[in-house]
């Protein structure tokens, strides 16, 4: 999709701190990390939210999660991490290309 920053990262048109790539997903460092380790996992295909999942995209997302589970220890997340997917405006989704935040490298709080 034109003018989508994550599509451009997926195509290698703008640089990213890539930590993993295959033919369908990319994992790279968030440019404004919220935690000591903050990665983003994106499908290379452009779509915005889980509302747009069909069977093929759901399977792709499953493979992405499986890959995160396998590789997280190699990213320094062997003691745990948090996965977050902001969906739409009220959740604060600022990039309209589905992405999984991978947060960790420190003790994370979970409270209001």
Does the active-site annotation cover 99? yes
Helix (H, G, I), strand (E, B) or coil at 44: coil
Residues 15-20: contacts with CB under 8 Å, at least 24 apart: 19/75, 20/67, 20/71
Q: What letter does residue 50 receive in the DSSP assignment?
A: G
86 binds, among ligand AMP, Zn ion, none (CB under 5 to 8 A by kind): ligand AMP
Where in 19-38 is the site for ligand AMP (CB under 6 A)?
A: 30-32
Give me 80's structure tokens. 């745990």
3 binds, among ligand AMP, Zn ion, none (CB under 5 to 8 A by kind): none
Does 95 contact ligand AMP by CB under 6 A?
Answer: yes
46 binds, among ligand AMP, Zn ion, none (CB under 5 to 8 A by kind): Zn ion
Helix (H, G, I), strand (E, B) or coil at 37: strand
Nearer to ligand AMP, 58 or 84 (CB): 84
Q: Residue written as tokens 């589905």?
A: 98
Direct distance between the N- and C-terminal alpha carbons of the chain, in angstroms, rounded to an integer: 36
Nearer to ligand AMP, 90 or 111 (CB): 90
Does 3 contact ligand AMP by CB under 6 A?
Answer: no
Helix (H, G, I), strand (E, B) or coil at 24: coil
Residues with active-site annotation: 99
Q: What residues line the site for ligand AMP (CB under 6 A)? A: 5, 16, 30-32, 40, 86, 92-95
């Amino acid at each position: 999709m034109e003018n989508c920053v994550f599509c451009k990262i997926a195509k290698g048109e703008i640089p990213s701190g890539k930590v993993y790539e295959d033919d369908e997903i990319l994992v790279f460092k968030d440019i404004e990390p919220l935690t000591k380790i903050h990665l983003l996992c994106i499908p290379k295909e452009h779509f915005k939210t889980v509302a747009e999942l069909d069977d093929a995209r759901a399977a792709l997302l499953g493979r992405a999660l499986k890959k995160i589970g396998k590789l997280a220890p190699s990213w320094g997340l062997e003691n745990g991490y948090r996965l977050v997917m902001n969906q739409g405006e009220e959740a604060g989704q600022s990039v309209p290309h589905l992405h999984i935040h991978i947060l960790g490298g420190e003790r994370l709080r979970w409270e209001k």
